[in-house]
Amino acid sequence: MAKPLALAFDVPETTGGDEDSLEPSPYEESEVHDSFHQLIQEQSLRVAEEGLELLSLGPGRGDQTLPRPEGAPVLSTATLRILASMPSRTIGRSRGAIISQYYNRTVRLRRRSSRPLLGNVVRSARPSLRLYDLELDPTILEEDEKRSLLVKELQGLSVAQRDHMVRNMPLSLGEKRWLREKSWSPKVKRRDQQGRRRGAFSCCSRLRYTCMLALHSLGLALLSGLYAARPWRYALKQIGGQFGSSVLSYFLFLKTLLAFNTLMLLPLLAFLVGVQAAFPPDPAGPVPTFSGLELLTGGGWFTHTVMYYGYYSNTTLRQSCASAREGGLCSPRLGSLPYNMPLAYLFTVGAAFFITCIVLVYSMSHSFGESYRVGSTKGIHALTVFCSWDYKVTQKRASRVQQDSIRTQLKELLAEWQLRKRPRSVCGQLRQVVVLGLGWLLCLGSTVGCTVAVLTFSETMIQRPASGGQGLEMLALPLVVSVLNLVASYLFRGLAALERHDSPVLEVYMAICRNLILKMAVLGVLCYHWLGRRVAALQDQCWEDFVGQELYRFMVVDFIFVLLDSLFGELVWRLISEKKLKTGQKPEFDIARNVLDLIYGQTLTWLGVLFSPLLPAVQILRLLLLFYIKKTSLIANCQAPGRPWLASHMTTVFLTLLCFPSFLGAAVFLCYAVWQVRPSSTCGPFRTLNTMYEAGTVWVRRLEHAGSGASWLPWLHHFLVENTFFLFLVSALLLAVIYLNIQVVKGQRKVICLLKEQIRNEGEDKIFLINKLHSVYEEEGMSRPGRTQEATIPPAAPED
């Protein structure tokens, strides 16, 4: 009976004084590379010879080939040898090859002066470099012997080198744990066993580690609770899987608006609302009781809270100041900076707008880069089919959601591909242009009619005597505007159905443009009504509170109309189609109208933040309720789009519309109110000034006369606020950032196209070279028909 093959490495030991600090030399690395290259060639030859033994030699054939699948080229043995020697064919290795490789590394780490080349080792002890093919390993005993050799070499290393070596091995955790345990020295094992018998930790240590683990578990529980409390934790995946990326883009945009409002609310609460709540002013009159009607009108009890502009004082707040509520100033202590409330009001609102502008521009540029980076969708179908599944998903519910998401994504990709393959005739294009022209004429005419109606009704409201903003009649103008917006949006939707766009993306973009023009025109008329007509009509009253209450009422009425639309436009229509019509066809989710409702509400928030600092908090509550209401209505009452389409650029379009028409218009409105409109003389922090902007100038003059240590603040105010060059510089920098991002994305798209072309050319070059090699070897075989190749492996010599 043959004995197992024993490997003997006659390698002399070196002194262990500096074995931990020395590293393998480049010469040894190259030597190992050469020996592995030789091994690869011999292994490839052996594979080819084994394949030749299984074939019968045909008559007249001197060059045998291996069988290939149907449709694949039949390559000769020499060509197969060259292909087997390519680096890409030797990437996958078996476990025995990995162990042998790391055995050689441990030998180099121990700095042995000489070692045998891999070419001089017996072939059975070498690693098999075939792609995960374990049939070439002679026996399992040889692999165990190589593993034991690796354990011995690991025992000779230091602890740090051994841990680093085992950690980097591409083996399973069980194999690594076994190697680590076996490589411990007997002393270490004995010490570990003694520590386990005695008890490794004392009572104090156990208590300390128990407290640490409890705190760590509590922190993880809190983090998981916060993660689970988010409204989009599971709903976004469910919506994306059932309704596609087009409907999902609405909820992602709602999530973005929630983040913007939270970011704006934080400085307002910290530096404005919280400070004024800590130092409340003396009430000017009796405070009315809360009746509940204030939730609709925004007046009454809310007027005497930090909700509106008129509640904030124009005094300098300090802890030691107990008097001087009406315009008086306490004498500041030496070296102290008093809290100037008018300046804090102006600069806090300005800083909140500036931070929002920076974040909005960054989000828009980042979204633009994410949407247009790749430049093409070639190969996305194969990637979706073969690379989309997440193998970490184990729950049945999560796997079902992922299946729906992949299926919907494939539908969107195929619909977009079919749309590109379906051209339209010239007559069809002309008919489409005529229909679009008529549709746009009707849309622009309805927009002009709605704008004139809002202007006329607002003038009628000015002629009526003011009632303090406490009656339900103050809801008339918001109701009229909301009804016009709702009716016009349904009119635009009907026109889009008559136009019959081939592309659903184009249909959504057209609806967004029409609704955006309508809402921006109506808001422009309302801004003129508030800052032009109302300021002149309310000279002896606090017109800032009226504008803040008006914007609050617009937000509340718009939210009510959204609820009514979800109830009657989706729920009632589903019940009618299911119960009466017996069709079972549910309505589709109107993305354009719902997104424009979000932009409209956010614009109202930005317009009113100067007159109502807590309006972002109202918007946050409104967005949270909208998320749950829209999600419930979508899942229960709506169906997936009849024509699925890929919304790859929708988030970028939404952020662009939010930035330029919405945020830019609100910024212009507030700048006009700060620089041009005279504040009320009866309320607010700017009651004694000609404009709100003068608050900074008056404060700087007081600092200059006081001669305090903060002399750099007047200089900063002069060069950063009063000097218009800084504003132009910031605007130019923002535009430059947007332009550079666009150019970078264009450059990336060009580079990606060039790299794809280069990869395609290299693949064609490889195919050309392989075909040339095959033809050369075929010609040589035909020129020598008498020669035959016989490849046999000599049997192993029996051992005594």
For residue range 81-117, list pLDDT tens digits in order: 666 666 555 444 445 555 666 666 665 655 444 444 4
Place of tokens 């008093």: 338
CA nearest to 384, candidates 523, 534, 586, 245: 245
Mean per-residue pLDDT over the chain, rounded: 76
Q: What is the pLDDT of residue 541?
A: 85
Which conformational region is residue 278 in: left (phi greater than 0), alpha (psi within -120 to 50 degrees), or beta? alpha
The C-alpha atoms of residue 94 and residue 87 are separated, in whole angstroms, by: 16
Q: What is the pLDDT of residue 78?
A: 66
Structure tokens at 378: 């070639």
Top-ranked range on mean pLDDT: pick from 405-419, 451-465, 781-795? 451-465
Which string of b and e fits 548-574 if b means at least 16 CB within 10 Å?
A: bbbbbbbbbbbbebbeebbeebbbebb
**Count of CB atoms within 10 A of residue 74's CB?**
11
Structure tokens at 379: 């190969």
Instruction: For residues 749-773, give the mean pLDDT.
Output: 85
Instruction: For residues 190-200, give the mean pLDDT.
Output: 55
Residues 738-760 pLDDT 10s = 788 778 878 888 888 888 888 88
Least confident piece of the model among 12-21, 241-250, 393-402:
12-21
3-state per-residue secondary structure call for 3-59: CCCCCCCCCCCCCCCCCCCCCCCHHHHHHHHHHHHHHHHHHHHHHHHHHHHCCCCCC
Q: Which one is predicted more confidently, 6 or 89?
A: 89
Residues 516-555 pLDDT 10s = 999 999 999 999 999 988 898 887 889 999 999 999 999 9
Instruction: For residues 18-40, give the mean pLDDT.
Output: 43
Helices and strands in the chain: count of H runs, count of E runs = 27, 2
- Which amino acid type is present at position 542? C
Place of tokens 């991002």: 741
Sign of the torsion angle spanned by Cα atoms 150, 151, 155, 159: positive
Q: Which one is predicted more confidently, 390 or 522?
A: 522
The C-alpha atoms of residue 410 and residue 171 are separated, in whole angstroms, by: 36
Which conformational region is residue 479 in: left (phi greater than 0), alpha (psi within -120 to 50 degrees), or beta? alpha
Q: What is the pLDDT of residue 14?
A: 39
Q: What is the pLDDT of residue 299?
A: 87
Q: Give yes or no for a contact between 124 and 77, defined as CB atoms under 8 angstroms apart.
A: no
Q: What is the pLDDT of residue 800?
A: 41
Residues 416-457 pLDDT 10s = 777 766 666 788 788 888 999 999 999 999 999 999 999 999
Instruction: For residues 593-602, give the mean pLDDT.
Output: 94
Least confident piece of the model among 626-630, 659-663, 711-715, 782-786:
782-786
Least confident piece of the model among 50-54, 167-171, 179-183, 479-483:
50-54
The C-alpha atoms of residue 43 and residue 92 are separated, in whole angstroms, by: 14
What percentage of residues in the chain have a pLDDT greater than 90? 27
The C-alpha atoms of residue 476 and residue 766 are separated, in whole angstroms, by: 76
